Amino acid sequence: MSATDVSTARPELDRALRELRDGAEHWAGLPVPGRARVFREVFDAVAGTAREWAETAARAKGIPDGSAAAGEEWMSGPYAALESSAAYARAYEAIAQGRSPADGLPVRAAPGGRTAVRVLPRTAQERVLFHGFRAEVWMPPGVSAEQVRREAGLGAGTVGTSGGVGLVLGAGNVSSIAPLDAFYELVAAGRTSLVKLNPTFAGLLGVYEKALAPLIRIGAVRVVNGDSAVGAYLARHDGVDKVHVTGSRTTHDAIVWGRGDEADRRRTQGEPRLAVPITSELGGVSPVIVVPGRWSDADLRFQAEHVATMRLHNAGHNCIAGQMVVLSDDWPQRDAFLTQLRRAFERLPARDPWYPGSARRVAEAVAAHAGAETINGRVLLESTGDDPACGTEYFAPVLAWTRLPGTGAGFLRAAVDFANERLEGTLGANVVVDPATRKSMGATFDDALAGLRYGTIAVNAWTAVGFLLAGATWGAFPGHTTEDVGSGIGVVHNGHLLAGPERTVVTGPFRDFPRSVARGELSLFPKPPWFAGARTAAATGERLTRYAAAPSWGRLLPVLVSAFRG
């Protein structure tokens, strides 16, 4: 559907919402096995569209043919959609057989009376593919393992009750976000979705219509293009029962409260302009806490590239990009690490920022921070810990660092407090720590993780790994409201349909293979293919997507070979 201007598109938009209302009734009456079959059909449609999807997304971002950066579009586009649709099909199939979608998932006790549910690795092939990685969903304190299994499923098994019609306002930076949001609305709440694309992805409309054809055919999804006026018209339409937005806090507040004097008046009077519920994922200033230890020169280089990747992936246009590196002022290797970080900025392939407004945000960052360095088109700056870098998500190739006193557990506690109290948002936090230092802290380290109030935490990994894992949850730390929305309200993805999750914790290896094994880590994982310096990222991303479309040991081997060559 090609609606672009609200003045001419209203009849088309109104018709789409009526069709979605009928589709919601159809979905409500569809037995659970039928819902599973629909998501298997979606899986097949995504697989058949994967190349066109990845290549169209790459063109939208100006990625040249043959560039390693094209791998990002395979992994964050069709690969993520394949994993998600397969996970939901499995969840429906479990429910149809009288089982819980959480059956078979290992659980353990986590700090603070929490239950941790392991969602990666799930199969023998995942153990090989993600060797050295683990992901858990932590439930809030007091939730038992039995309760996790009993309550998993959300609305997926409810037949006969319509969830109504929702509006999904799609993000403009990662091509799988809007489809995955629509999937979750349908599975978790039985709600059909009108997906309004961000203008940056207008050229993907045809791809989405092919990939989502099974859902479009039964009236479960409609996809339209449109500007902000189209979004505003739809958000206030009486045919919309709920809104989900991925974007910025500014966009969310404009939808809920309006702008300027109107917003101030509505907030004061407690009268939002949005009359229906809203969920959201809104980004923030993500910390990268570097716990001081005794690192080799190779460790310094590898982790500097790791941290640089957290910022430079997708040219810096990620809501989960690392933005604030927290270093110990008492770490003897602090300056050596910063030197390696500068070298990584110099060495990693240059990319032109493509998201609208990037140049302005970069200029604002430089102007607000004395001594900011521009390196190969990227900005590295020192933050005082109380300046714009702490409260402004730059959404551009701008990386800040700050210093705190202390070492070991004392530094980690101070860094957790800094991240919780001084940085904007609660979407994701990264912690880098060598195995020996982590071991020396014992339970204190896990207690510190429990104290980090973030929706996804990555230890020796990047929180974006949590985004890609269909079984993980994705969203802000619980507790935000429309009045103070922070990084958003609610979660998405959540392929095992866990009820009321608190956070996802991803753990990876500190070193890549073979250094990992040589230094006593049980990990055979090479340099990750999402690293900005991975030379074979395009081939690996494509092979990974082909594997996801038809998982087998035979298709897994080419993925591993390509990744090791990177």
Measure the CA angle with vertex 559, ends 127 and 80; round to 5°.
75
* Domain residue ranges in the chain: 6-105+157-247, 286-534
Q: Give the CATH number of domain 286-534.
A: 3.40.309.10
Exposed, middle or buried: residue 359 (CB in 10 Å: 0-12, 13-18, 19+)?
Answer: exposed
As a whole number of angstroms, the distance between CA 541 and CA 558 comes to 11
Owner of token pair 């979606």: 42
Contact present, 240 and 167 (Cβ < 8 Å): yes
Contact present, 402 and 325 (Cβ < 8 Å): yes
pLDDT at 4: 58
Is the fold of 6-105+157-247 the same as that of 286-534?
no
Pick from 417, 416, 460: nearest CA to 438: 460
pLDDT at 246: 98
The residues facing 404 across adjacent strands are: 328
As a whole number of angstroms, the distance between CA 43 and CA 526 comes to 29
- Tell me the CA distances in angstroms from 357 to 63, 149, 361, 363, 393, one per residue in order: 18, 45, 6, 10, 12
Backbone angles phi and psi of 287, in degrees to 5: -85, 155
CA atoms within a 13 Å half-sphere pointing along the CA-CB vector of 27: 36
Measure the CA angle with vertex 378, ends 372 and 384; round to 5°.
30
Q: Who's near 305: CB < 8 A, 6+ residues apart?
A: 344, 348, 531, 532, 533
pLDDT at 238: 97
Owner of token pair 């210093």: 403
pLDDT at 484: 96
As a whole number of angstroms, the distance between CA 553 and CA 548 comes to 11
As a whole number of angstroms, the distance between CA 426 and CA 30 comes to 37
Q: H/E element holding 34?
A: helix 32-60
Owner of token pair 């608190």: 502
Q: Give the CATH number of domain 6-105+157-247.
A: 3.40.605.10
Q: Who's near 71: CB < 8 A, 6+ residues apart?
A: 529, 530, 534, 536, 537, 538, 539, 540, 541, 542
DSSP 3-state assignment of 51? helix
User: What tokens appear for 276 in the block?
Assistant: 């229906």
As a whole number of angstroms, the distance between CA 248 and CA 311 comes to 17
Q: What is the pLDDT along the chain (566 residues), one digit of tens a residue?
A: 555 578 888 999 999 999 999 999 999 999 999 999 999 999 999 999 999 999 999 999 999 998 999 999 999 999 999 999 999 999 999 999 999 999 999 999 999 999 999 999 999 999 999 999 999 999 999 999 999 999 999 999 999 999 999 999 999 999 999 999 999 999 999 999 999 999 999 999 999 999 999 999 999 999 999 999 999 999 999 999 999 999 999 999 999 999 999 999 999 999 999 999 999 999 999 999 999 999 999 999 999 999 999 999 999 999 999 999 999 999 999 999 999 999 999 999 989 999 999 999 999 999 999 999 999 999 999 999 999 999 999 999 999 999 999 999 999 999 999 999 999 999 999 999 999 999 999 999 999 999 999 999 999 999 999 999 999 999 999 999 999 999 999 999 999 999 999 999 999 999 999 999 999 898 999 999 999 999 999 999 999 999 999 999 999 999 999 999 98
User: What tokens appear for 559 in the block?
Assistant: 């993925």
Show the 3-state SS of 372-387. Answer: CEEECCEEEEECCCCC
Amino acid in the structure at residue 39: F
- Tell me the CA distances in angstroms from 53 to 203, 206, 436, 561, one per residue in order: 10, 9, 43, 24
As a whole number of angstroms, the distance between CA 401 and CA 399 comes to 7
pLDDT at 2: 56
Q: Residue 330 gets which letter from DSSP? A: T
pLDDT in tens, 55-74: 999 999 999 998 999 999 99
Pick from 196, 110, 153: nearest CA to 448: 110
pLDDT at 476: 98
Supply the pTM of this predicted model. 0.97
pLDDT at 5: 72
User: What tokens appear for 88 in the block?
Assistant: 């939901």
As a whole number of angstroms, the distance between CA 158 and CA 214 comes to 21
Owner of token pair 């998932």: 105
Pick from 481, 483, 480, 485: nearest CA to 270: 483
Contact present, 473 and 139 (Cβ < 8 Å): no
Interstrand relation of 107-110 and 114-120 (parallel, antiparallel or unpaired): antiparallel
